[in-house]
């Protein structure tokens, strides 16, 4: 077994990888989350990275292109969202 995800349990989050690192976060458990985490498989360690500066959300999309990750859309407390953000680790 690998190290458990250290954030709160949740549904409808997002995850993607950049190189040999995985990034995961967002989702909801009653309220939407805006936290973001990095996982390094070689050391089997999770690390919290900078929280998302936009609206916390669930049901979003996320994908990598090159050395950056892209996340956006989804649902926040006030309904559907149409914004998109770039993540540069």
How do residues 11-68 score in pLDDT, each as one tens digit?
Answer: 999 999 999 999 999 999 999 999 999 999 999 999 999 899 999 999 999 999 999 9
* Tokens (6 digits) for 44: 């089997």
- The arithmetic mean of pLDDT across residues 70-83, rounded, is 96
The enclosing H or E element of 47 equals strand 45-49
pTM comes to 0.90
pLDDT at site 50: 87
- The arithmetic mean of pLDDT across residues 83-89, rounded, is 94
For the chain, count helices (H), then strands (E).
0, 11
Q: Which of 16, 17, 39, 15 is nearest to 27 (CA)?
A: 15
Q: For 43, left (φ over 0), alpha (ψ -120 to 50), or beta? A: alpha
Say if residues 26 and 58 touch (Cβ distance below 8 Å). yes
């Amino acid at each position: 077994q690998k190290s458990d995800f250290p954030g709160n349990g949740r549904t409808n989050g997002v995850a993607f990888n950049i190189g040999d690192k995985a990034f995961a976060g967002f989702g909801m458990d009653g309220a939407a989350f805006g936290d973001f985490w990095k996982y390094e498989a070689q050391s089997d360690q999770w690390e919290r990275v900078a929280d998302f500066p936009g609206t916390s959300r669930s049901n979003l999309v996320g994908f990598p292109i090159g050395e950056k990750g892209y996340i956006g859309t989804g649902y926040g407390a006030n309904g559907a969202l149409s914004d998109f953000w770039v993540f540069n680790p």
